[in-house]
Amino acid sequence: MHFYSEVETEIGRFRIACSPKGITMISLAEGSRIAFEAAYRARLGVQAQRGEIPGNYKSAVIEAAAGREYSAVPIDLAGLSEFQLKVLKALRRVPRGKVCTYAELALKAGRPGAARAIGNAMARNPVPLLIPCHRVVPSSGGIGNFGLGIWRKRELLNREAARIGGQSLVSPWKG
């Protein structure tokens, strides 16, 4: 069975879905549950039902959203392409408090010159926060985009004490 539940974090309310193999999807709980269930079904071909998920899954998301270390939890990336899996595997090696550019991640994923494709893979990351796409920034400077909102990306990087271009970020908490 595939289930999902909601959890309140320091940066907003999230829906967390899981299969018997691990966490499959994390998204903001701002949209309707019907839309979330439809997106889940479109990606994985199965229906997720509202219900209880393991407490350690919720704890991992709460801690990651706070910018803190968290205990490893299983992640189920079924339904992703081989390229997406390779990119997300490389991304998981970017340590807390550090950033890399899209070009650097492309190189680490074995696809030098594929920075734009890396950006697309980041946009489709089904498990943000736990697979830290917020740690990827453009080579041209700045922090770039983030599917959960730029203010959340800035906040996560601040909480992790990440520096970009040798400077810490100023947090415009929700501002």
Q: How far is CA 121 from CA 4, 133, 142, 165, in A?
A: 23, 9, 19, 24
Q: How far is CA 91 from CA 24, 29, 70, 96, 133, in A?
A: 17, 24, 17, 11, 7
**Three-class SS state of 5:** strand
Q: Which of 115, 133, 137, 148 is catalytic?
A: 133
CA dihedral over 130, 9, 35, 56, signed as positive or negative: positive
Q: Are 128 and 148 in contact (CB under 8 A)?
A: yes
Cα-based angle 69, 155, 13 (whole degrees, multiple of 5): 80
- 133 as an active site residue: the answer is yes
Annotated catalytic sites, by residue? 133
